Amino acid sequence: MIYLKRKIDAYLEDWKSKPDRLPLIVKGARQVGKTESIRRFAKKHYENIIEINFVTEPIYKSIIEDGFSTSSIIRLISRIDPSKKFVEGKTLIFLDEIQEFPEIATSLKFFKEDGNYDVICSGSLLGVQYHRIASISVGSKTDYQMYSMDFEEFLWAKGYGEDLIEDFLNHMLEGKPFEDAVHKTFSDLFLEYCILGGMPAVIKQYILKGTFEGSLDVQRQLLTDYSNDIIKYAEGLDKAKILSVYNSIPAQLAKENKKFQYTKVVKGGRSKEYMGCIEWLENAGLISVCNCMSFPELPLKGNIADAKFKVYMTDTGLLVASLDDEAQMDLRANKNLGVYKGALYENFIAESLIKQGYGLYYYSKENSTLEEDFFIRSANELIPVEVKANTNRSKSLRTLISSDSYSDIKHGIKFTIGNVGISDDIVTFPYFCSFLLKRYMERQNFFQ
Protein backbone atom coordinates (compact mmCIF):
# COMPACT_ATOMS: atom_id res chain seq x y z
CA MET A 1 0.00 0.00 0.00
CA ILE A 2 1.37 3.42 -0.92
CA TYR A 3 2.28 5.93 1.76
CA LEU A 4 1.36 9.55 1.12
CA LYS A 5 4.04 11.98 2.30
CA ARG A 6 2.65 14.28 5.00
CA LYS A 7 3.84 17.44 6.73
CA ILE A 8 3.75 15.68 10.08
CA ASP A 9 6.65 13.50 8.83
CA ALA A 10 9.11 16.41 9.08
CA TYR A 11 7.62 17.48 12.41
CA LEU A 12 8.12 14.01 13.91
CA GLU A 13 11.73 13.92 12.72
CA ASP A 14 12.34 17.29 14.37
CA TRP A 15 10.63 16.12 17.58
CA LYS A 16 12.84 12.98 17.69
CA SER A 17 16.01 15.06 17.25
CA LYS A 18 15.42 17.03 20.46
CA PRO A 19 17.14 15.47 23.48
CA ASP A 20 14.64 17.05 25.88
CA ARG A 21 11.52 16.07 23.89
CA LEU A 22 8.24 15.86 25.79
CA PRO A 23 5.53 13.24 25.23
CA LEU A 24 3.65 14.20 22.08
CA ILE A 25 -0.12 14.37 21.52
CA VAL A 26 -1.21 14.34 17.88
CA LYS A 27 -4.73 15.75 17.56
CA GLY A 28 -7.07 15.82 14.60
CA ALA A 29 -10.42 14.72 13.23
CA ARG A 30 -10.95 11.06 12.47
CA GLN A 31 -9.25 9.51 9.43
CA VAL A 32 -6.93 12.41 8.60
CA GLY A 33 -3.97 10.00 8.69
CA LYS A 34 -2.65 10.30 12.25
CA THR A 35 -2.11 6.60 13.00
CA GLU A 36 -0.54 5.75 9.63
CA SER A 37 2.00 8.57 9.85
CA ILE A 38 2.96 7.75 13.44
CA ARG A 39 3.38 4.04 12.65
CA ARG A 40 5.64 4.78 9.69
CA PHE A 41 7.80 7.09 11.81
CA ALA A 42 7.94 4.52 14.62
CA LYS A 43 9.10 1.70 12.34
CA LYS A 44 11.89 3.91 11.02
CA HIS A 45 13.28 4.97 14.40
CA TYR A 46 12.57 2.41 17.13
CA GLU A 47 13.58 -1.17 17.82
CA ASN A 48 10.50 -1.69 19.96
CA ILE A 49 7.04 -0.23 19.41
CA ILE A 50 4.33 -0.65 22.04
CA GLU A 51 1.07 0.27 20.32
CA ILE A 52 -2.13 0.34 22.35
CA ASN A 53 -5.51 1.27 20.89
CA PHE A 54 -8.05 2.06 23.60
CA VAL A 55 -10.99 1.51 21.22
CA THR A 56 -10.06 -1.95 19.97
CA GLU A 57 -8.20 -3.03 23.14
CA PRO A 58 -10.19 -1.63 26.08
CA ILE A 59 -8.52 -4.18 28.37
CA TYR A 60 -5.56 -1.79 28.57
CA LYS A 61 -7.65 0.73 30.48
CA SER A 62 -6.63 -1.31 33.54
CA ILE A 63 -2.97 -0.25 33.27
CA ILE A 64 -3.48 2.62 35.74
CA GLU A 65 -5.01 0.48 38.48
CA ASP A 66 -1.78 0.75 40.52
CA GLY A 67 -1.24 4.44 39.76
CA PHE A 68 0.39 6.46 37.02
CA SER A 69 4.09 5.82 37.56
CA THR A 70 6.03 4.64 34.53
CA SER A 71 7.15 1.45 36.24
CA SER A 72 3.64 0.36 37.25
CA ILE A 73 2.16 1.13 33.82
CA ILE A 74 4.91 -0.83 32.05
CA ARG A 75 4.51 -3.72 34.48
CA LEU A 76 0.74 -3.91 33.86
CA ILE A 77 1.11 -3.63 30.07
CA SER A 78 3.57 -6.53 30.11
CA ARG A 79 1.23 -8.51 32.36
CA ILE A 80 -1.52 -8.22 29.73
CA ASP A 81 0.88 -8.97 26.86
CA PRO A 82 4.22 -10.51 27.93
CA SER A 83 5.54 -10.33 24.34
CA LYS A 84 5.82 -6.54 24.53
CA LYS A 85 9.44 -5.45 25.09
CA PHE A 86 10.51 -2.30 26.92
CA VAL A 87 14.12 -1.37 26.17
CA GLU A 88 15.19 1.94 27.64
CA GLY A 89 16.12 4.50 24.97
CA LYS A 90 14.92 2.26 22.13
CA THR A 91 11.17 1.98 22.73
CA LEU A 92 8.23 4.10 21.58
CA ILE A 93 4.96 3.79 23.47
CA PHE A 94 2.14 4.75 21.09
CA LEU A 95 -1.20 5.29 22.83
CA ASP A 96 -3.92 5.58 20.19
CA GLU A 97 -7.55 6.72 20.48
CA ILE A 98 -6.99 8.40 23.84
CA GLN A 99 -10.41 10.07 23.59
CA GLU A 100 -11.68 6.74 24.92
CA PHE A 101 -9.39 6.93 27.95
CA PRO A 102 -8.46 10.55 28.76
CA GLU A 103 -7.26 9.55 32.23
CA ILE A 104 -4.10 8.15 30.66
CA ALA A 105 -2.90 11.73 30.09
CA THR A 106 -1.98 11.92 33.77
CA SER A 107 0.80 9.39 33.08
CA LEU A 108 2.58 11.78 30.69
CA LYS A 109 4.04 13.72 33.61
CA PHE A 110 5.62 10.53 34.92
CA PHE A 111 6.91 9.44 31.49
CA LYS A 112 8.47 12.89 31.12
CA GLU A 113 10.19 12.62 34.52
CA ASP A 114 11.35 9.06 33.85
CA GLY A 115 12.81 9.99 30.45
CA ASN A 116 13.59 6.44 29.33
CA TYR A 117 10.76 5.96 26.84
CA ASP A 118 9.34 8.11 24.07
CA VAL A 119 5.57 8.49 24.14
CA ILE A 120 3.19 9.56 21.38
CA CYS A 121 -0.55 9.80 21.99
CA SER A 122 -3.14 10.20 19.29
CA GLY A 123 -6.84 10.88 19.36
CA SER A 124 -9.70 12.06 17.29
CA LEU A 125 -11.11 15.37 18.47
CA LEU A 126 -14.49 13.69 18.16
CA GLY A 127 -15.24 13.03 21.78
CA VAL A 128 -11.84 14.09 23.06
CA GLN A 129 -12.42 15.92 26.29
CA TYR A 130 -9.38 17.89 25.37
CA HIS A 131 -9.68 20.60 27.99
CA ARG A 132 -9.61 17.79 30.53
CA ILE A 133 -6.61 16.08 28.92
CA ALA A 134 -4.74 19.38 28.71
CA SER A 135 -5.45 20.27 32.34
CA ILE A 136 -4.15 16.98 33.71
CA SER A 137 -1.00 16.97 31.55
CA VAL A 138 -0.05 20.66 31.63
CA GLY A 139 3.69 21.16 31.14
CA SER A 140 4.17 17.48 30.34
CA LYS A 141 3.36 17.31 26.64
CA THR A 142 3.76 18.83 23.20
CA ASP A 143 0.74 19.19 20.92
CA TYR A 144 0.55 18.78 17.14
CA GLN A 145 -2.63 19.54 15.22
CA MET A 146 -3.05 17.36 12.12
CA TYR A 147 -5.51 18.12 9.32
CA SER A 148 -6.54 16.42 6.13
CA MET A 149 -4.08 16.83 3.26
CA ASP A 150 -3.59 20.34 1.89
CA PHE A 151 -2.98 21.18 -1.76
CA GLU A 152 0.81 20.96 -1.33
CA GLU A 153 0.51 17.41 0.04
CA PHE A 154 -1.82 16.62 -2.86
CA LEU A 155 0.86 17.85 -5.28
CA TRP A 156 3.41 15.62 -3.53
CA ALA A 157 1.04 12.68 -4.01
CA LYS A 158 0.86 13.54 -7.72
CA GLY A 159 4.65 13.33 -7.93
CA TYR A 160 5.59 17.02 -7.84
CA GLY A 161 8.59 18.07 -5.77
CA GLU A 162 10.02 21.01 -3.88
CA ASP A 163 11.37 22.63 -7.04
CA LEU A 164 7.81 23.21 -8.27
CA ILE A 165 6.74 24.64 -4.90
CA GLU A 166 9.69 27.04 -4.91
CA ASP A 167 8.84 28.08 -8.48
CA PHE A 168 5.26 28.87 -7.39
CA LEU A 169 6.58 30.98 -4.53
CA ASN A 170 9.00 32.86 -6.79
CA HIS A 171 6.15 33.76 -9.15
CA MET A 172 4.25 35.17 -6.18
CA LEU A 173 7.24 37.10 -4.81
CA GLU A 174 8.12 38.56 -8.22
CA GLY A 175 4.52 39.25 -9.25
CA LYS A 176 5.19 37.24 -12.42
CA PRO A 177 2.22 35.55 -14.15
CA PHE A 178 2.37 31.83 -14.93
CA GLU A 179 2.54 30.67 -18.53
CA ASP A 180 -0.92 29.82 -19.84
CA ALA A 181 -0.23 26.07 -20.04
CA VAL A 182 1.13 25.97 -16.48
CA HIS A 183 -1.77 28.04 -15.19
CA LYS A 184 -4.31 25.73 -16.82
CA THR A 185 -2.58 22.56 -15.59
CA PHE A 186 -2.58 23.60 -11.95
CA SER A 187 -5.99 25.27 -12.07
CA ASP A 188 -7.37 21.93 -13.27
CA LEU A 189 -5.47 20.07 -10.54
CA PHE A 190 -6.80 22.55 -8.00
CA LEU A 191 -10.39 21.84 -9.07
CA GLU A 192 -9.71 18.10 -8.80
CA TYR A 193 -8.38 18.65 -5.29
CA CYS A 194 -11.49 20.67 -4.37
CA ILE A 195 -13.71 17.80 -5.50
CA LEU A 196 -11.61 15.14 -3.77
CA GLY A 197 -10.70 17.07 -0.65
CA GLY A 198 -7.76 16.00 1.48
CA MET A 199 -8.90 12.86 3.26
CA PRO A 200 -6.10 10.31 2.71
CA ALA A 201 -8.46 7.41 1.92
CA VAL A 202 -9.96 9.43 -0.94
CA ILE A 203 -6.61 10.69 -2.29
CA LYS A 204 -5.02 7.25 -2.07
CA GLN A 205 -7.78 5.67 -4.14
CA TYR A 206 -7.55 8.49 -6.69
CA ILE A 207 -3.76 8.07 -7.00
CA LEU A 208 -3.94 4.28 -7.32
CA LYS A 209 -6.76 4.24 -9.89
CA GLY A 210 -6.00 7.49 -11.71
CA THR A 211 -9.72 8.24 -11.78
CA PHE A 212 -12.47 9.54 -9.49
CA GLU A 213 -14.02 6.06 -9.34
CA GLY A 214 -15.46 5.41 -5.90
CA SER A 215 -14.32 8.75 -4.44
CA LEU A 216 -17.84 9.99 -3.73
CA ASP A 217 -18.74 6.71 -2.02
CA VAL A 218 -15.71 7.02 0.29
CA GLN A 219 -16.53 10.66 1.06
CA ARG A 220 -20.16 9.89 1.85
CA GLN A 221 -19.09 7.03 4.11
CA LEU A 222 -16.82 9.46 5.97
CA LEU A 223 -19.76 11.85 6.40
CA THR A 224 -21.84 8.96 7.74
CA ASP A 225 -19.02 8.04 10.14
CA TYR A 226 -18.88 11.64 11.37
CA SER A 227 -22.65 11.65 11.94
CA ASN A 228 -22.38 8.37 13.86
CA ASP A 229 -19.57 9.82 15.98
CA ILE A 230 -21.73 12.83 16.83
CA ILE A 231 -24.39 10.43 18.08
CA LYS A 232 -21.77 8.45 20.03
CA TYR A 233 -19.74 11.24 21.61
CA ALA A 234 -21.94 14.33 22.06
CA GLU A 235 -22.58 13.83 25.75
CA GLY A 236 -24.83 16.32 27.53
CA LEU A 237 -25.92 18.02 24.31
CA ASP A 238 -28.85 17.50 21.98
CA LYS A 239 -27.34 15.21 19.34
CA ALA A 240 -30.15 15.86 16.85
CA LYS A 241 -29.47 19.60 17.04
CA ILE A 242 -25.74 19.12 16.44
CA LEU A 243 -26.51 16.97 13.39
CA SER A 244 -28.98 19.57 12.13
CA VAL A 245 -26.40 22.35 12.47
CA TYR A 246 -23.75 20.26 10.69
CA ASN A 247 -26.08 19.25 7.87
CA SER A 248 -27.19 22.87 7.31
CA ILE A 249 -23.71 24.10 6.38
CA PRO A 250 -23.89 23.66 2.57
CA ALA A 251 -27.16 25.60 2.42
CA GLN A 252 -25.75 28.27 4.76
CA LEU A 253 -22.77 28.76 2.44
CA ALA A 254 -24.93 28.88 -0.68
CA LYS A 255 -26.64 32.04 0.59
CA GLU A 256 -25.52 35.44 -0.71
CA ASN A 257 -25.08 36.47 2.93
CA LYS A 258 -23.02 33.62 4.35
CA LYS A 259 -23.45 34.65 8.00
CA PHE A 260 -24.53 31.58 9.94
CA GLN A 261 -28.24 31.74 10.81
CA TYR A 262 -30.02 29.36 13.17
CA THR A 263 -33.27 30.09 11.31
CA LYS A 264 -31.69 28.21 8.38
CA VAL A 265 -31.17 25.17 10.60
CA VAL A 266 -34.84 25.05 11.48
CA LYS A 267 -37.59 27.59 10.94
CA GLY A 268 -37.76 29.90 13.94
CA GLY A 269 -34.48 28.54 15.35
CA ARG A 270 -32.74 30.72 17.95
CA SER A 271 -29.17 30.73 19.16
CA LYS A 272 -30.01 29.89 22.78
CA GLU A 273 -31.61 26.64 21.61
CA TYR A 274 -28.34 25.60 19.98
CA MET A 275 -25.88 26.70 22.64
CA GLY A 276 -22.80 24.54 22.49
CA CYS A 277 -23.52 22.93 19.10
CA ILE A 278 -21.15 25.14 17.10
CA GLU A 279 -18.44 24.89 19.78
CA TRP A 280 -18.76 21.10 19.89
CA LEU A 281 -18.45 20.75 16.10
CA GLU A 282 -15.44 23.07 16.05
CA ASN A 283 -13.74 21.16 18.87
CA ALA A 284 -14.49 17.95 17.00
CA GLY A 285 -12.54 19.24 14.01
CA LEU A 286 -15.56 19.13 11.68
CA ILE A 287 -16.04 22.86 11.15
CA SER A 288 -14.08 26.10 11.26
CA VAL A 289 -15.69 29.25 12.64
CA CYS A 290 -14.92 32.61 11.01
CA ASN A 291 -15.59 35.46 13.45
CA CYS A 292 -16.94 38.82 12.32
CA MET A 293 -14.86 41.84 13.30
CA SER A 294 -16.74 44.73 14.89
CA PHE A 295 -14.46 47.07 12.91
CA PRO A 296 -11.56 46.29 10.54
CA GLU A 297 -8.62 47.33 12.67
CA LEU A 298 -5.88 45.75 14.74
CA PRO A 299 -5.73 43.74 16.94
CA LEU A 300 -7.65 40.90 15.35
CA LYS A 301 -8.53 38.86 18.42
CA GLY A 302 -9.73 41.76 20.54
CA ASN A 303 -12.14 42.99 17.92
CA ILE A 304 -14.91 40.39 17.56
CA ALA A 305 -18.62 41.04 17.08
CA ASP A 306 -20.55 38.67 19.34
CA ALA A 307 -22.94 36.15 17.80
CA LYS A 308 -21.99 37.03 14.22
CA PHE A 309 -19.95 34.42 12.39
CA LYS A 310 -19.62 32.18 9.35
CA VAL A 311 -19.06 28.43 9.41
CA TYR A 312 -16.95 26.40 6.98
CA MET A 313 -16.30 22.68 6.69
CA THR A 314 -12.72 21.67 7.48
CA ASP A 315 -12.42 19.61 4.29
CA THR A 316 -13.73 21.13 1.06
CA GLY A 317 -14.10 17.71 -0.54
CA LEU A 318 -16.57 16.71 2.17
CA LEU A 319 -18.46 19.95 1.51
CA VAL A 320 -18.71 18.97 -2.16
CA ALA A 321 -19.84 15.47 -1.19
CA SER A 322 -22.58 17.07 0.94
CA LEU A 323 -24.14 18.89 -2.02
CA ASP A 324 -27.36 17.75 -3.65
CA ASP A 325 -27.11 15.24 -6.50
CA GLU A 326 -27.81 17.79 -9.26
CA ALA A 327 -25.03 20.09 -8.04
CA GLN A 328 -22.72 17.06 -7.79
CA MET A 329 -23.37 16.06 -11.39
CA ASP A 330 -23.02 19.59 -12.72
CA LEU A 331 -19.72 20.10 -10.93
CA ARG A 332 -18.19 16.77 -11.91
CA ALA A 333 -19.39 16.73 -15.51
CA ASN A 334 -19.29 20.41 -16.44
CA LYS A 335 -17.06 22.04 -13.80
CA ASN A 336 -20.07 24.23 -13.09
CA LEU A 337 -20.38 25.16 -9.43
CA GLY A 338 -23.76 26.89 -9.75
CA VAL A 339 -24.96 28.64 -6.59
CA TYR A 340 -22.13 26.96 -4.67
CA LYS A 341 -19.34 28.62 -6.65
CA GLY A 342 -18.56 31.32 -4.09
CA ALA A 343 -19.09 28.86 -1.24
CA LEU A 344 -16.61 26.34 -2.61
CA TYR A 345 -13.83 28.87 -3.15
CA GLU A 346 -14.44 30.58 0.20
CA ASN A 347 -14.44 27.25 1.99
CA PHE A 348 -11.18 26.29 0.30
CA ILE A 349 -9.44 29.52 1.32
CA ALA A 350 -10.76 29.17 4.89
CA GLU A 351 -9.40 25.61 4.96
CA SER A 352 -6.06 26.76 3.55
CA LEU A 353 -5.73 29.57 6.12
CA ILE A 354 -6.49 27.23 9.02
CA LYS A 355 -3.96 24.67 7.79
CA GLN A 356 -1.29 27.40 7.72
CA GLY A 357 -2.05 28.40 11.30
CA TYR A 358 -4.11 31.53 10.63
CA GLY A 359 -7.30 32.37 12.49
CA LEU A 360 -10.46 33.20 10.54
CA TYR A 361 -11.89 36.73 10.59
CA TYR A 362 -14.19 38.64 8.27
CA TYR A 363 -15.98 42.00 8.19
CA SER A 364 -19.50 42.98 7.14
CA LYS A 365 -20.57 46.57 7.63
CA GLU A 366 -24.12 47.04 8.88
CA ASN A 367 -26.55 48.49 6.33
CA SER A 368 -23.89 48.47 3.64
CA THR A 369 -22.56 46.34 0.81
CA LEU A 370 -19.05 46.61 2.26
CA GLU A 371 -17.92 43.10 3.14
CA GLU A 372 -14.54 41.37 3.16
CA ASP A 373 -14.03 37.61 3.24
CA PHE A 374 -10.94 37.19 5.42
CA PHE A 375 -8.17 39.14 7.17
CA ILE A 376 -4.60 38.36 8.12
CA ARG A 377 -1.93 40.67 9.47
CA SER A 378 1.68 41.58 8.83
CA ALA A 379 3.91 43.23 11.43
CA ASN A 380 2.19 46.59 11.06
CA GLU A 381 -0.83 46.11 8.82
CA LEU A 382 -4.25 44.53 8.71
CA ILE A 383 -4.54 42.82 5.32
CA PRO A 384 -7.91 42.00 3.77
CA VAL A 385 -8.02 38.76 1.76
CA GLU A 386 -10.69 38.63 -0.92
CA VAL A 387 -11.99 35.48 -2.59
CA LYS A 388 -13.33 35.98 -6.11
CA ALA A 389 -15.09 33.29 -8.12
CA ASN A 390 -14.35 35.42 -11.21
CA THR A 391 -11.91 38.13 -12.28
CA ASN A 392 -14.19 41.10 -11.61
CA ARG A 393 -13.03 44.23 -9.77
CA SER A 394 -12.99 44.18 -6.00
CA LYS A 395 -15.06 47.15 -4.84
CA SER A 396 -14.98 46.38 -1.10
CA LEU A 397 -11.25 45.66 -1.16
CA ARG A 398 -10.47 48.97 -2.84
CA THR A 399 -12.75 50.87 -0.45
CA LEU A 400 -10.96 49.43 2.57
CA ILE A 401 -7.55 50.36 1.14
CA SER A 402 -8.38 53.85 -0.10
CA SER A 403 -10.63 55.13 2.70
CA ASP A 404 -9.11 57.14 5.54
CA SER A 405 -11.55 55.38 7.88
CA TYR A 406 -9.45 52.20 7.88
CA SER A 407 -5.99 53.38 8.87
CA ASP A 408 -4.59 49.88 9.53
CA ILE A 409 -5.29 48.78 5.93
CA LYS A 410 -2.89 49.83 3.17
CA HIS A 411 -2.72 46.75 0.92
CA GLY A 412 -4.86 43.76 0.00
CA ILE A 413 -4.64 40.22 -1.34
CA LYS A 414 -7.02 38.66 -3.81
CA PHE A 415 -7.38 34.98 -4.73
CA THR A 416 -9.03 34.30 -8.07
CA ILE A 417 -9.28 31.87 -10.97
CA GLY A 418 -6.99 34.28 -12.82
CA ASN A 419 -3.21 34.70 -12.83
CA VAL A 420 -0.59 36.41 -10.66
CA GLY A 421 -0.74 40.18 -10.86
CA ILE A 422 -0.11 43.43 -9.00
CA SER A 423 -2.42 46.40 -9.43
CA ASP A 424 -1.94 49.48 -7.27
CA ASP A 425 -1.97 48.14 -3.70
CA ILE A 426 -3.56 44.76 -4.45
CA VAL A 427 -1.65 41.58 -5.22
CA THR A 428 -3.60 38.82 -6.98
CA PHE A 429 -2.84 35.10 -6.89
CA PRO A 430 -4.50 32.05 -8.45
CA TYR A 431 -6.23 29.72 -6.00
CA PHE A 432 -3.63 27.01 -6.44
CA CYS A 433 -1.03 29.28 -4.76
CA SER A 434 -3.03 29.87 -1.57
CA PHE A 435 -1.17 27.19 0.44
CA LEU A 436 1.95 29.37 0.12
CA LEU A 437 0.45 32.51 1.66
CA LYS A 438 2.33 32.26 4.96
CA ARG A 439 5.66 31.63 3.24
CA TYR A 440 4.94 34.54 0.89
CA MET A 441 4.22 36.82 3.86
CA GLU A 442 7.51 35.81 5.49
CA ARG A 443 9.60 36.62 2.39
CA GLN A 444 7.78 39.39 0.54
CA ASN A 445 8.61 43.10 0.38
CA PHE A 446 5.15 44.19 -0.76
CA PHE A 447 3.66 44.81 2.69
CA GLN A 448 6.42 47.12 3.95
State the Cα–Cα distance between residues 199 and 54, nearest whole angstrom.
23
How does residue 232 score in pLDDT terms, banded at 50, 70 and 90? confident
Give me the half-sphere count of Cα atoms (radius 13 Å) on the Cβ side of residue 85: 9
Helix (H) or strand (E) holding 439, with range, is helix 437-443
**Tens-digit pLDDT profile for residues 2-30:** 889 999 999 999 999 999 999 999 999 88
CA 300, 304, 309, 315 torsion-angle sign:
positive
CB 335 within 8 A of CB 133: no
Give CA–CA dist 398/411, Å, rounded.
9
Phi, psi dihedrals of residue 164, rounded to the nearest 5°: -65, -45
Please write the tens of the pLDDT for every residue from 425-448: 999 999 999 999 999 999 987 766
Query: What mean pLDDT do residues 307-321 have?
Result: 92
Closest CA to 92 of 141, 43, 126: 43
Q: Tens digits of per-residue pLDDT, 109-123?
A: 999 999 999 999 998
The mean pLDDT of the chain is 89
* Phi, psi angles (nearest 5°) of residue 305: -85, 120
Q: Residue 353's closest CA among 319, 389, 377, 382?
A: 377
| pLDDT of residue 369 exceeding 70 | yes
Query: Percentage of the chain with pLDDT > 90?
Result: 63
Q: Are strands 382-387 and 412-416 parallel, antiparallel or unpaired?
A: parallel
Q: Which of 281, 272, 324, 253 has its CA nearest to residue 262?
A: 272
pTM for the complete prediction? 0.93
Distance CA(259)–CA(266), nearest Å, equals 15
Handedness of CA 352, 353, 355, 356 (dihedral sign): positive
Compute the distance between CA of residue 148 and CA of residue 287 in angstroms, rounded to an integer. Answer: 13
